[in-house]
Amino acid sequence: MQRRRFLQSAVLGAGAALAGFPVPEAQAAPPKLKITKIRYYSAPGYNKPLFNQARGIVEIETDGGIIGIGEGGSKDMIEQCAQMMIGENPFRIEHIWQNIYRGMFYPPGREKLHALGALEMALWDIKGKALDVPVYELLGGATRDYVECYATGFRASKAKTEEERARDCIEAGLRAYRIGPTGGNGEQPFDFYDNAKKTIDLCKRIDAAVGGGGKWALDLHTRFDTTEGIKICKALENLEPYFVEDIVRSENPDVYKTVRQMTTVPIAVGEQFGDRWDSNNFIEQHLIDYTRFTLPNTGGISEFKKLASMCETHYVGMIPHFTGPLATATLVHVLGSSSPMRCLMELGGGEPERPPYFNEDFINFKNGKLYLNPAPGLGVKFDPKKATFVMEVTENTKFPHPILKSPDGSIHNW
């Protein structure tokens, strides 16, 4: 009710100003909230040793009683970032982000960006709940009716072969079925030559099963050297996969200058990346066709939107890597309000995860597509009793150094 009254007063205040009438200061101003507590929980049952991608849940509580929910980050990184947020106005999302990003001597690494992304996600949830609107409305409003999805694996299928699972996936309404290379299970030595041949053969069988038309994609998982990676790509060009992902390791962007010149398959790279500075060379030099950066890895929603603008400028599509259930739901808000470039969302097993500590309807999925959630904020309700409490931060005392500001008041590098 308080949120509704605030929203009504803001709208009435704006109308009065346009009409030339004086507007009371309290009527037009946003609510003056302060961050009082930040809690961190571990996700029960989540154990993925192959990924150093944290799946914790964060709660940011304000003195107005509004609580925002985010996902990601490790305990140590959340704790460091949280101690720089207590007492801040949660509506100043960009200000808080810049302070955490620039407020320490060393630039943040990717693990810290995961934590910052989780906390920034919760700030947007607070703002949406305070204004009684979904986050996608705060980001500019809907630009598409739904977000197409592709499946990595397809749990709903009872088929016994990869080809039949791929066919079932497409018939269920998903845009594409993604496969990986043969080999790489760790039980046998990985033979580059043999697995390159087997991977090419698998792709031909999958293409025939789904009827071509870009209804499948391949992730090489950076397992091959440049020679075999290019050999596979050249063999697949006439099959026209939707994309081929992580052809080689991507620490050195210049290697994709070579890859780009040697194959015409659509290239997807970036699930291991973080902010703009991780991705700008790939995008600006047209080395890839699709980015795989995601949430919370980029450092948050605002940073993702900035990356989306870079992609739009250079005609690069977006295919975010899946990380966690709340991050997936948040991506629908972000992609659903971004420019109408080509985009897909990845679903592990072909359907979104619905953990018991979130409300059942926090994500809207049907017929292979993810739809916008019109509920306030991110549309998520969190039951902390069904998660494992780890810590709570209530004081901003660990980092007493002053915030260095430019003359105009903006955050400067410390």
Residue 234: phi, psi to the nearest 5?
A: -60, -40
**Mean of the per-residue pLDDT values of the chain:** 89
Residue pLDDT, tens place only, 193-241: 999 999 999 999 999 999 999 999 999 999 999 999 999 999 999 999 9
At 47 the pLDDT is 61
Tokens of 46: 């989540």
Average pLDDT (119-147) is 97
Tokens of 412: 């400067």
Q: Are 116 and 101 in contact (CB under 8 A)?
A: yes
Domain ranges of the chain: 1-30, 33-132+383-414, 138-371
**The residue to which tokens 């009710």 are assigned:** 1
Q: Give just the sign of the alpha carbon dihedral 195, 197, 198, 201.
A: positive
Distance CA 142, CA 148 (A): 15
At 106 the pLDDT is 84
At 16 the pLDDT is 41
Tokens of 157: 């299928």
Residue pLDDT, tens place only, 58-97: 999 999 999 999 999 999 999 999 999 999 999 999 999 9
Distance CA 174, CA 71 (A): 25
**The residue to which tokens 């309807």 are assigned:** 361
Q: Quick count: other Cβ atoms within 10 Å of Cβ 87?
A: 11
Average pLDDT (12-16) is 41
Question: Which superfamily does 33-132+383-414 belong to?
Answer: Enolase-like, N-terminal domain (3.30.390.10)
Distance CA 35, CA 53 (A): 26
% of the chain beyond a pLDDT of 90:
75
- CATH number of the domain at 138-371, please? 3.20.20.120
Residue pLDDT, tens place only, 151-163: 999 999 999 999 9
The residues that bridge with 151 in the sheet, in sequence order, are: 177, 347
Residue 289, pLDDT > 90, answer yes
Residue pLDDT, tens place only, 302-330: 999 999 999 999 999 999 999 999 999 99
